[in-house]
Amino acid sequence: MRTPRAVLSAVFVVLALAGCGGDQPGPQVWAADVCAALSPWREEIDSLASSTEQQMTAKTAPAQAKENLVRLLDGAERASETARASVEQAGVPDVEQGETVAEGFVGSLAGVRDAYGKAKRAIEGLDTGPSFYDGVGTAVETLNKEYDASALDTSKLNSPELARAFDEVPECR
């Protein structure tokens, strides 16, 4: 016959082991954390894209345009890194292929961050002479290609639990 102390010890061991494996958030929690990280990022990127478009059509001197564009791209790079770090901090969802899903999200945001950083450095390196806007056009074209290339391939991430969670949690609406 087991003593109450032995039973309690066994319960603590089981709870401790369950706790070790239970550090993965469920689909609802993970989706909420990811959407909470991505919502301000999307708003910031939309705002920066609008400002960049205005900057490209404004009649400003190349030196001023360069300064503004570098500042905008720096903001997009920093916002993307903040979102990437927040999604990484969300952990790995407790679903089939959870690690692949989490890595996909984090990798996609890292690619976006890097694309903004590369564009920023390209524009920083431009001479503000007559060909400045041609260089900006090339940098933005490269940015768009790299941004598109970093998109998350959701065809490989088939998780009905996460799809349902993203549809249901308020943070994703």
pLDDT in tens, 53-83: 777 677 788 999 899 999 999 999 999 999 9
Say what the pLDDT of residue 106 is: 97
Q: How far is CA 41 from CA 47, 88, 91, 104, in A?
A: 10, 14, 18, 17
Per-residue confidence (pLDDT) for residue 158, from 0 to 100: 75
> What's the farthest any 2 CA atoms get from each other in the chain?
91
Closest C-alpha to 152, from 166, 169, 137: 166
Q: Which pTM does this prediction carry?
A: 0.82
Residue 12's pLDDT is 32
pLDDT at residue 15 in the model: 31
Question: Could you tell me which of 6, 22, 33, 119 has the C-alpha nearest to residue 70?
Answer: 119
Low-confidence ranges of the chain (pLDDT < 70): 1-22, 56, 156-157
pLDDT at 91: 96
pLDDT of residue 93: 97
pLDDT of residue 52: 74
Q: What is the pLDDT of residue 156?
A: 67
Report the distance separating Cα 52 and Cα 48, nearest Å: 6
Neighbours of 32 (CB within 10 A): 20
